[in-house]
Every structure is written in C-alpha cells, then in structure tokens.
Amino acid sequence: MSDQYGHWVFKKNLGRGGFGVVSLWFNEETQENIAIKECQLHNTSDKMRTWWKAEVDIMGRLEHDNLIRALPVPPELAPEPSQPPKLAMEFCEGGDLRKVLNLPQNCLGLSEKEIRQLASGIGSAINYLHKHRITHRDLKPENIVLKTVAGRTLYKIIDLGYAKELDINSLCNSFVGTVKYLAPELFISKPYSKAVDYWSLGVVVYECITGYRPFLPDTPPVEWHREVSKKSPEDISARYNNDKSQVIFSKKLPASNHLCKPLAEHFELWLQLMLRWEPKARGSSRFNCFEILEQICSLQVISILNVEKNSLLSYPVKKEDSIRDIMQLVSTQTEIPEDEQFLIDTAGFRIDPEEPALKFCSDHLSEELSVFLFRAGMMEIQERDNYNLPSNVNTIVKQPTVLLGPKGHRRAWAETVYWITEEAKIYHRLMLAHGAALLNMMQDNSKLLRQKSKMETEIFQLVACQEFFKNSLEFDINKCKESLEFSTHLNSVGGQRIMETWTELSIRFNAPHSLVERGKSLVEGIADMNAAVLSLQRRPDGTHMQVNKLKEFEEKAKKLYDWFIHANDPDTIDHTKMVNLIAMCFCQRDELTKTLYNHIRNIRDQQTESETIFNASEQFLHDVKEAREQLSTLQRQRQETLWSIIRNPHQQQQTSAGELDNTIQYLPSLSSNLESVQLLMDCREYSQKTTTMLKDMLKEQEQSMVYFSSPENNK
C-alpha cells in the first residue's frame, strides 16, 4: 500500500475489525481525517465476503449520533472494480472504550458522569438498531469508540461486521461474537434473537461501573456456563470465594464504584432485567428496557455533604419536590431534626426550605457538589462512614508480602487506587464545605456591620431626641414660672402642680440613657466580632498543601498500578510500595481532618455568636423605636394640652387636668412613681401677658414636633 494517494496521506493503522483492517488517512488540503476499513482478501471465505458487503450496506443506511457515521469513499482511495468495497468512516480521536477502561484511574470503573453518557448513548444506539430490525451481536468495549463534540464525549458503536438483519421475533443459529460478552444461549448453539444484545449491553455497562465483567471473568467457557447457569434471575454478578471452592452470587453492585446511591440502586434493578439467563425473560418489563435506561441516565439527584460526618447524602428529586421535602429525608437518615438543619450552597447563602430542590441538583453530566449540611448551634464531629479499608486492601496492609495470584493481586492494587482516589475526593469536598462556611460567616459579618452602622445612627438620634426633650421641658418650666409671677390665677394648686410635674419629668426621665449604654455595648461587641472574623478568614496553615499531598498520593498509586499491570511477572511483586502509600495517606488524611474540622468548628461557633448578637441588636433597635415614639407622644400630648387651654380657656380646668393625666399614664415605665396631676384652674380668663407666653410656648412645641417627625434633622 502506498503512503499517499493525491492529497490523502496514510497516517497509521487503527486496528482490526471483524473482517478487515482499519487505517487512518489525512487530507493535506482539507485537514480532514477519515478512517478506511478494507476487507482482507487472503483466507476470506465466501461467507465472510457476504458479511462484509452486508456491513458496508448496513453502515450506509444508518444515521445515529451514537453509531459510527459512514462517509463517501474518496475517489483517490476507492478500490479497484475487482476488489471488495471499502468503508469510509468518521475518525474518533478518543480511541476505543477498552483503552479507557485500562487507564489506572478507571481500574474500578468510570466516573458517574461517564457512565451516564455511555449507557445513555449506547443504549439509544442499540435501540435504534433494533427498531431497524438489526442485531449487533458483537457489542464489547473494543467496538465502542469515543469522539469529542462541542466539549462533550460521544460514545459510538463501530464494527457491524457481525450485525444481522432479523425479522420481528426471528431467531438465528450462527455462532458469532466475542466469547467474553456472549449471551448464554450462544454457548450451546440455541436459536437466539435481539435478546443477545441485551445481555452484551448489560455486561458492558456492568464492567464500566465496576471495572470488571460480572460473571466469573477469565473462567473457561464450559466451566463458566456450568456455574453461571445456577444463578437466580435477579443475580447480576458471580465470583469465586478465596479458595475457589464456591461461587458467590450477588444482586448488588460492589461498594467500590463511583455512582451515587440512588443511581446505583436504579442500575442494579436495570441490570437484573438485562442479565437474566432465560432469553425470553431478559429485558422484558412493562416498559421498554431502553426507555428505563434513559430515565436512569437522566435521573436528577441532589447531593448534600453532611459536614459533621463528612459523608455524602444523595436523593432522587422530582419536579414538585422542595428543599423542605429533602430535609425530611435528611432528618430520617441522619436524625438531625429539620429545625436544626443549616443548609448552605457553595456561595455560602442559606437555602430557603421552600425553594425547589431541582435548583440545587447538579447537571447530570456534572459531579460538582452544591449543598452543605451543618447542624445549627455547636458543631459535633462524628466518625465518618466508610472509614474502613476495602477487604483486599486490608489484606495487603496486614501482610505486605502475601501472594494473591495475578487476579487477586491486581484487584487489591485496583482497590488501593480507588481508596486513595476517594480519600482525595472526600477531602476536596470537605474543603468546599469549609469555603462555603467561610463565605456564610463573611455574609453574616457584613450584615452585622450594616447593623452596627444603623445602631450608631439610632443611638445618635436617640441622644439628640432626649436632649431636645429635656431642653423643651426646661423651657416649659421657665415659662411656667414666669406665668405664675404675672398671674394670680395660675398661682394655684393646678399651676404649681404643672410646674412640679414637668420639673420631676426632666429629672427622672433616664430610660433613654440606659438604652444608649446598652447600644454602645452592642456596637463594641460587633467591632470585636469583626476582628475575630477577619482572623478566621485566613486559611488554616498547611491545609491546601495537604490536599495537594493527597492528590500526589493518588497519582503515585496510579503509576504503581500501571507499572504493575505492565510488569513481566507481576505475581512476584510484593505490596510494600503500595502499603507505604496507604500509610502516608492515612496520616495526611487524619491531620487534614483535625485541622479543617477545628477551623470549621471555630467558624460555626463564630456564626452562633453572630446570630446571638444580631438578635440582641434587633431587640435594641425595636426598643429605640419605642422610646422615640414615647418621646414623640409625650411632646404631642403636652402640645395638645396647651392648645386646649388657648381654644377653651373657660374649660381649661377640666381639659388641662385630663390631658396631663393621660401624658403621665402613657409613660408608666419612665415615671411610674409620679402622682396623678389634677389641674384645677379656677380662673376664666388669662391676662394678656399669660396668653402671649402660652403662644410662645406653643410655637416652640410646634417646632419640636417637626423635629421628632424628622429625626434626620438631628444630624
């Protein structure tokens, strides 16, 4: 084969399909890459040639985002008339799924985001094929490739070399496909239908979740069929015990996977449907198995970090659910009452229980955490769930030189990589919780500082009102003395009692003074709290470096695992290096936990104090408002008393007595020991001078009312 035809340049061989070789070609003019699949002519039977032509024909008729897209063969690369047809396809730069699964970080399965994308896409593609009466018959990781489109990974099925067009409910007898992913009926040459794709899809999805195939991987076919046939309809996995004397079946996924709990439970039920031994029962349900899979992959889940236990709580969310509904579930699971649940988002804002829960669900293609749960009040640190090491990891920690066999050795190291990776993720989440708590504290502090400014203004205005009130009383007293000197009518019991009452009020009105002192004390407390908050804003020493250290351990564990699986004689390698990483990870994790939790506890204690002082400041502002209203009311009633004297001098005896009596009764807390004032005015007419004095007093009182109704004038 030449390396160049026209503008098309051969780059490399990509792999082998069912009947041919796939190569990569690059167009120097258009900068386009395409994959060309050519049928191998040597040792090719007539049957294989027929299958090859069928693949080319099928590929040309199909169009689905998750099926490899067929392209026109460039004229420069077209086959000779005597040669079999070529198949041109889009190039998927991400390689095949097998290469992805072999990466150290995926040794125990893909991430939740990747599983959602893969299961949804491949399930949709198989459903599309079945609707077009096509059974793939050879679904496996090697026949799934990855392509990035608009920043999103698409998983595409390739190699339809064994695909067969079937009539509805038709059965086929030919034995094709890859043994490790074959449905059970194919081992005994029983007729089969599209249900074989259900089994293969279930096996692929299980492997992507866990990192290994579900039923006795690497067991010879005859033994495999004999043992796995004993499974119940709901069993989704089987493994040998340590001495290989017994097969252990399970209806659950292993704990070491990257799925949240609700998603794992849904996948378990779906896998029980897809991995049934009997073909007629496989995939059968009241609902289409592909529709069920799509619902699972699009499931909305809210994830909440319970900071006290450093454990993740996950709940499926419906459209009508509110945060209060989620809080009820949290209360049941954690025994934290709803009224003690303090929920904040990543920005540190308190979450309203009436908000829709969907608002706080991460995009199902994202794994970012968005909600953090604290217990209101003082924080109690509890033991974290899943603290123990996985069983295989615990074995090598206790016996670093133990020989577990190639598969057991690999599983133990894979679980170690998973455990160290999870530790880094768990404490990354704890750092996010720390950051959210810090932001929430800063928001509370900003609110307190605004409250402090408001209190200082109110204190200033209250002092000004108090001084103005006292000055007004002094003015009234002086005018009253002058009127008594010029009028024998006022020189009576009533006039004398008015002057005595006002004099006593000016001396004994001390309530605003104690209120002012209380306000000043609160202002000083807020200033001290602000200084403490500024100190807490600094990151705890070394925590960021420790998190980076955990990531370093994760990378070292992955490199050790990669070195192990490529070693010539891996079974002879002891576990010392991996065990050392485990020990160092333990130490760093515990140190990080202690430092972060101490700082988070200090933040929460500060917030508790902040809430207390804020409530006290709110009460202070309420009391200031009442005091100012009392002062304003006193001024108003005194003014009305004087006006009534001018308007009805002949009724001044009754009116004056009633008005002043009401004035004194309005302030029982300010002058509770004052006697009731009875004004007995016995004269019917005032002298001209007394009237003039009263008018002067009223003018001054009108000015005071304007003053009290507009406190900002005091500035």
Catalytic sites, residue numbers: 138
CA distances from 1 to 7, 13, 14, 346 (A): 15, 12, 15, 59
Distance CA 600, CA 603 (A): 5
Neighbours of 561 (CB within 10 A): 21
Residues 38 and 88: beta-carbon distance below 8 Å? no
**Helix, coil or strand: residue 319:** coil
CA distances from 335 to 125, 328, 331, 375, 385 (A): 44, 10, 5, 11, 15
CA distances from 603 to 311, 378, 467, 536 (A): 20, 10, 42, 7
Consecutive H or E run containing 303: strand 301-306
Strands 247-250 and 301-306: unpaired
CA distances from 419 to 547, 564, 582 (A): 15, 17, 9
Neighbours of 415 (CB within 10 A): 23
CA angle at residue 710 from 708 to 715, to 5 degrees?
100
Distance CA 62, CA 5 (A): 28
CA distances from 261 to 134, 256, 313, 705 (A): 35, 12, 8, 68
Strands 247-250 and 237-240: antiparallel
Name the one residue in this structure whose structure tokens are 């290096």.
577
Backbone angles phi, psi at 81, to 5 degrees: -55, -30
Backbone angles phi, psi at 543, to 5 degrees: -65, -40
Neighbours of 594 (CB within 10 A): 12
Q: Strands across the sheet with 301-306, in order?
A: 311-316, 301-306, 371-375, 341-345
Question: Residues, the chain, total?
Answer: 715
Distance CA 199, CA 215 (A): 12
Distance CA 340, CA 330 (A): 11
**Helix, coil or strand: residue 10:** strand
CA distances from 638 to 152, 208, 395, 502, 704 (A): 78, 86, 90, 10, 11
Contacts of 385 (CB under 8 A, 6+ apart): 309, 311
Distance CA 309, CA 593 (A): 11
Contacts of 373 (CB under 8 A, 6+ apart): 304, 305, 306, 307, 308, 313, 330, 334, 336, 341, 342, 343
> Rounded to the nearest 10 degrees, what angle do helices 576-647 and 511-536 cross at?
160
